[in-house]
Amino acid sequence: MATRQAQPGKTGRPKGGESRRADASTRRGSSTQQLEPGLPKSFLTPWILLLFLERPAHGYELLGRLGAVGPTRPGERGRYPDSGAVYRILRNLEKDGLVRSSWEEAPERGPDRKIYHLTASGREELGRNVQTLSRTAEVMGLFAGRYERGARRRSRRLSSSTLPAASSTRSRKSEEARARRSRRG
């Protein structure tokens, strides 16, 4: 199988015409596009960089690997992420110099494949992303722990206020207050 260097910014097979929109990546945003609400804005990009660290891949293979780890849809492993968003991120990663691509001739029949490889800059960016995500995980752990402690205290207060002894004390106090008022009036 022969490979040849892909031209940055090109989005199709190199044999195709220039009719493709080469400026689509600049109009669509950066490589840190958010795919699912609730996830950090740059969550998918570190996953893509990590998968390229493990081994180079073409876009369709990358989609399958992302679906297997489930970074875009927690709890729904095996589903493919939005392919349009992933390919936009790939173009932006290439434009930013974090990945490079080369064309690989198809084994037997079929279209040539654009294989993406992680660059040294991509490895550095992945390292920064890992540090940021680790700090975020630590803060989220502190947040969740504090929430759980507060929820336990609140549930103990609620359960203690509904005990029969507590309610009888309240009843006794309200009866005493009514008796004092009736004596005055």
Provide the domain limits for residue 54. Answer: 3-120
Nearest Cα neighbor of 94 from 81, 82, 103 is 103
Instruction: Indicate whether 177 belongs to any domain.
Output: no
Instruction: Indicate whether 17 belongs to any domain.
Output: yes
| Paired residues of 116 in beta bridges | 57, 101
Q: What is the pLDDT of residue 51?
A: 96
pTM score, whole prediction? 0.60
The dihedral over CA atoms of 85, 76, 63, 111, expressed in degrees to the nearest 10, equals: -110
Q: Give the three-class secondary structure for 101.
A: strand
Q: What is the pLDDT of residue 42?
A: 59
Q: Give the three-class secondary structure for 161.
A: helix
HSE value, Cβ hemisphere, 13 Å, CA-based, for 165: 2
Q: What is the pLDDT of residue 31?
A: 47
Instruction: Indicate whether 183 belongs to any domain.
Output: no
Instruction: Indicate whether 131 belongs to any domain.
Output: no
Q: What is the pLDDT of residue 98?
A: 97
Instruction: Indicate whether 163 belongs to any domain.
Output: no
Q: What is the pLDDT of residue 183?
A: 74
Q: What is the pLDDT of residue 10?
A: 52
pLDDT (tens, 9 = 90+) of the chain, 185 residues, equals 555 666 555 555 444 444 343 433 333 444 444 434 444 555 889 999 999 999 999 999 999 898 887 655 545 555 567 888 899 999 999 999 999 999 998 878 888 999 999 999 999 999 999 998 899 899 999 999 999 988 888 887 777 665 555 555 566 677 777 777 777 76
Count of domains in the chain? 1
CATH of the domain at 87: 1.10.10.10
Token pair for 103: 């064309």
Q: What is the pLDDT of residue 61?
A: 92
Q: What is the pLDDT of residue 151?
A: 84
Nearest Cα neighbor of 63 from 50, 79, 46 is 79
What strands, in cross-sheet order, belong to the sheet with 99-104?
3-5, 99-104, 113-118, 57-58
